[in-house]
Structure 1
């Protein structure tokens, strides 16, 4: 009986230690390529922590992360890519990430005399039905049915899909935010150092009040909230340094 109790205590201790280790941030090492060329100055953001870094002339970078974190890779001339970190990624010496060059499409003018023809009018989609984004559609499917929701929850697929929906939402908000303010506004007015601008943008799109103002295109409220958030973010930077 004593042997069983000792074994149970040892087992629970190992489980707790294992869980505790997973919660600690480690360092993710990556190298970015476009085709066969190393990609320099690619911005890498950990969407959970808001920490950013950039790839060097050899495409190399490293950033604190843990399993399940989403890294967002972006550059002016490259298609934005996101990478969900797995256990094996953190145990590897180096992860190779490939990014695609942006393709500039010419504006196309369509003359459509049948503009009233759409999925609703054709009876394909009921009026008022919610339109899902690709990530939302995957999550909806994973949570539908009888057995699928339980199996997906146990396997962790539902959690991963929820993170993908969040990343997709953030990317859309960043597109709306892009171009609203010049870098000089962040640096001179908000006193945000240039290397922290991208991280600050991810920080403010997590604030519900600012997001509502952004969605409503209310520039007065946006300015009010962004100045308030800049003070908080500056304090975070100061504490980290």
Structure 2
């Protein structure tokens, strides 16, 4: 029966990358994404609205017709998103990110530690809170900046920090900063698609995201997870958030 939900196999084609395109059944509120070849699977029934969305493409909506339901197949071509510039700027525009701007500045690079054979750190730059936490909790015996030898002394600052609670305070601060950064990335990548399905007043959207961040499992459910997994988490929190709103109204 065409009125029943069926699993539909689809394929997205485009001149741009077709991987990780959001495929949303707005009617039944189901999410999925395309694989690296543009293929996806989603359930739907007659007259459901399927939305295709990505940063690289213009958003497109397809209403499931009887032909699509019977064939259980759908093929969609997406147009590239073209961002036209209002004016032409000559020269480099600084982003405010020092490391990024230095990397993208033309000209000869200054001498670095590789040029003179000195080992240097090439990992992720720590935040101020992360540096303070490392200093507060790193138990390193030392004498005048060198590793402790015979007769050396041991710094008791890490012990004092642990006793006074400063280390715990810094750990909490680092955790909050990392969660805030993760939340900003989620809002930027998924907010528009999520609220196209789950309607919420604009004045409540930020409050909803803070409600998600307060969840004890926020980082576990969202850090290094796929968009589909994050959208499922947001869906669960949305239902809880609405229940809270209704209780408060009563």
Q: Which is richer in helix?
A: 1
Give the TM-score normalised by structure 1: 0.43
Give the TM-score normalised by structure 2: 0.41
Flag the structure with larger Rg. Answer: 2
